[in-house]
Amino acid sequence: MQADIFRRRLLCLRKQAIQSHAQLDPQGRANSAPVPFGHFKDVHQSFKRSGQTPLVAIKNITFDLKAGHLVTLLGPSGCGKTTFLKIVAGLISASGGTIQINGRDVAEPQPDFGVVFQQANLMPWRSILDNVLFPMEILRRSDAAAKLRAQELLALVGLEGFEQSYPSQLSGGMQQRVALCRALIHKPKLLLMDEPFGALDELTRMEMQDLLLDIRVKTDATVMFVTHSISEAVYISDVVAVLSKRPSVIADYIVVNLPYPRSAEIRYSAEFTDLEHRAGRALGITR
């Protein structure tokens, strides 16, 4: 009990420190700065292959994540960005390096994280409302308040009136919105999104990006987002970490200073295209 109070005070102090002081530090020179929200240092991942040298998926990823920020991992297919996200989610363990969120080492899944996968992964046997409430059931916090929050979230993503529908009655974009609500239902400290809009058509995708920007304002969650779309990365992010081809390292660390609220017009601004160019250069697409 005593220890618990102490820990909470410590966390509180740490949060204040982050808010007052935190400075983004792409090179990982975190020695002088206070503990950042997310701290990744020398993260390394290799897979054993029978009869061959191990496959190095991630050579070295080092960066810090500021609380309330949206960082995008941008990289080519197969560069290990999804692997990195799954390491942060605690779903797979890294071969080496430090992964710290909120001062804790992440080695297993954290119940206060929310994950959105490439596929909506809805349960066909549950109504939309019950799908959103699934994490609360697992965490044994499914009560009237949770139900109310689920309804609010569904309304927020424009799915009011679909509470009692089944997933098979919804389109792909609508299903992915339900998955987003499900990831947010337990007010996660960190939202991890693995190419969540990758399977959607271009127009739905742009709609979802606006929706995500909107939701960030309303929930102030910290987000780590994986994508291979340059424009998507620049549009939604505070920071774009560009990953190189396998074995991946951080090829560029781009701070996006575009103003909020962002709307589609910004995609045609000079600053936007400059940022896209820079990301393209880091990926080796443009010169």
Residues that bind other proteins (CB under 8 A): 89-91, 108-111, 113, 115, 117, 119, 121, 123-126, 134-135, 137-139, 165-166, 168-171
Asked if 134 and 142 touch (Cβ cutoff 8 Å), the reply is no
Angle subtended by helix axes 128-138 and 144-156, to nearest 10: 130
CB 109 → other proteins: shortest distance, Å?
Answer: 5
| 26 C-beta neighbours (distance < 10 Å), count | 15
Which is closer to other proteins, CB of 54 or CB of 111?
Answer: 111
Q: What is the CA radius of gyration of the chain?
A: 19
DSSP string, 4-23: HHHHHHHHHHHHHHHHHH--
Rounded CA-CA distance 262/30 in Å is 30
Which is closer to other proteins, CB of 109 or CB of 161?
Answer: 109
CB 53 → other proteins: shortest distance, Å?
Answer: 28
Which is closer to other proteins, CB of 75 or CB of 167?
Answer: 167
Rounded CA-CA distance 137/21 in Å is 37
Which is closer to other proteins, CB of 165 or CB of 273?
Answer: 165
CB 265 → other proteins: shortest distance, Å?
Answer: 32
Residue 273, both tokens: 């295209």
Which is closer to other proteins, CB of 42 or CB of 137?
Answer: 137
CB 167 → other proteins: shortest distance, Å?
Answer: 8
CB 118 → other proteins: shortest distance, Å?
Answer: 8
